[in-house]
Structure 1
Amino acid sequence: MEPNSLKWVGSSCGLHGPYIFYKAFKFHRDGKPRILSLGDFFFVRCKPEDPICIAELQLLWEERTSKQLLSSSKLYFLPEDTPQGRTGIHGEHEVIAVSEKVIVRLEDLVKWTVPDFSGWTHCLKAEPLKPSVLRELGTNGRREALHRYRESTLTSGLNFKDVQRERAQLGQEEDGRKVLVLSYPQYCRFRSVLVRLREQPSSLLIDHTVLALGGIAALGGSTRILYCRDTFEHPALLQNESICDEFGEFGPPPIVIVAFR
Structure 2
Amino acid sequence: MCLGIDVCALMATLFIWCFFPPLQWVGSPCGLHGPYIFYKAFQFHLEGKPRILSLGDFFFVRCTPKDPICIAELQLLWEERTSRQLLSSSKLYFLPEDTPQGRNSDHGEDEVIAVSEKVIVKLEDLVKWVHSDFSKWRCGLHAGPVKTEALGRNGQKEALLKYRQSTLNSGLNFKDVLKEKADLGEDEEETNVIVLSYPQYCRYRSMLKRIQDKPSSILTDQFALALGGIAVVSRNPQILYCRDTFDHPTLIENESICDEFELTCIPWIHL
TM-score, normalising length: structure 1: 0.93
Cα distance change on mapping 1:11 and 1:247 into 2, 3 Å:
same
* Match status 1:158 vs 2:168: no
Cα distance change on mapping 1:198 and 1:255 into 2, 3 Å:
farther
Shift of 1:197: 1.1
CA distance in 2, matches of 1:199, 1:135: 18
Q: Greater shift after overlay, 121-130 or 221-230? A: 121-130
Aligned residue in 2 for 1:141: 155
CA distance in 2, matches of 1:235, 1:174: 37
Residue by residue, what CA displacement relative to the aligned partner does 1:221-242 show, whole Å, maximum 9, x if unpaired? 1111000000000120011000
> Which amino acid is the alignment partner of residue 144 of structure 2?
E
Shift of 1:144: 1.2
Cα distance change on mapping 1:253 and 1:108 into 2, 3 Å:
farther
Residue by residue, what CA displacement relative to the aligned partner does 1:124-180 show, whole Å, maximum 9, x if unpaired? 1111223xxx23422411111111211221101100000000111111122131110
> Which amino acid is the alignment partner of residue 270 of structure 2?
F
The answer (yes or no) to whether the contact 2:113–2:244 under 8 Å persists in 1 is yes
CA distance in 2, matches of 1:254, 1:59: 12
CA distance in 1, matches of 2:217, 2:81: 46
Identity of aligned residues (%): 68
> For 1:143, what is the secondary structure of its paired residue?
helix
Task: Give the gaps of 5 or more residues in structure 2.
Answer: 1-15
Aligned residue in 2 for 1:70: 87
CA distance in 1, matches of 2:46, 2:215: 38
Q: 229, 240, 250: which is aligned to 1:215? A: 229
* Match status 1:50 vs 2:67: yes
CA distance in 1, matches of 2:161, 2:124: 28
TM-score, normalising length: structure 2: 0.90
Please, what is the CA RMSD of the aligned residues? 1.5
Aligned residue in 2 for 1:176: 190
> Which amino acid is the alignment partner of residue 93 of structure 1?
D
Residue by residue, what CA displacement relative to the aligned partner does 1:174-211 show, whole Å, maximum 9, x if unpaired? 21311100000000011111111112121111001211
Q: 90, 102, 119: which is aligned to 1:102? A: 119
CA distance in 2, matches of 1:108, 1:35: 15
The answer (yes or no) to whether the contact 2:93–2:112 under 8 Å persists in 1 is yes
Aligned residue in 2 for 1:60: 77
> Which amino acid is the alignment partner of residue 88 of structure 1?
S
> Which amino acid is the alignment partner of residue 158 of structure 1?
L
The answer (yes or no) to whether the contact 2:190–2:235 under 8 Å persists in 1 is no
* Match status 1:21 vs 2:35: no
The answer (yes or no) to whether the contact 2:192–2:234 under 8 Å persists in 1 is no
Aligned residue in 2 for 1:38: 55
Aligned residue in 2 for 1:232: 246
Cα distance change on mapping 1:57 and 1:255 into 2, 3 Å:
farther
CA distance in 2, matches of 1:254, 1:187: 30
Shift of 1:103: 0.1
The answer (yes or no) to whether the contact 2:33–2:267 under 8 Å persists in 1 is no
Larger Rg: 2
Aligned residue in 1 for 2:146: 129
The answer (yes or no) to whether the contact 1:58–1:254 under 8 Å persists in 2 is no
Shift of 1:252: 4.7
Cα distance change on mapping 1:82 and 1:255 into 2, 3 Å:
farther
Aligned residue in 1 for 2:3: none
Aligned residue in 2 for 1:111: 128
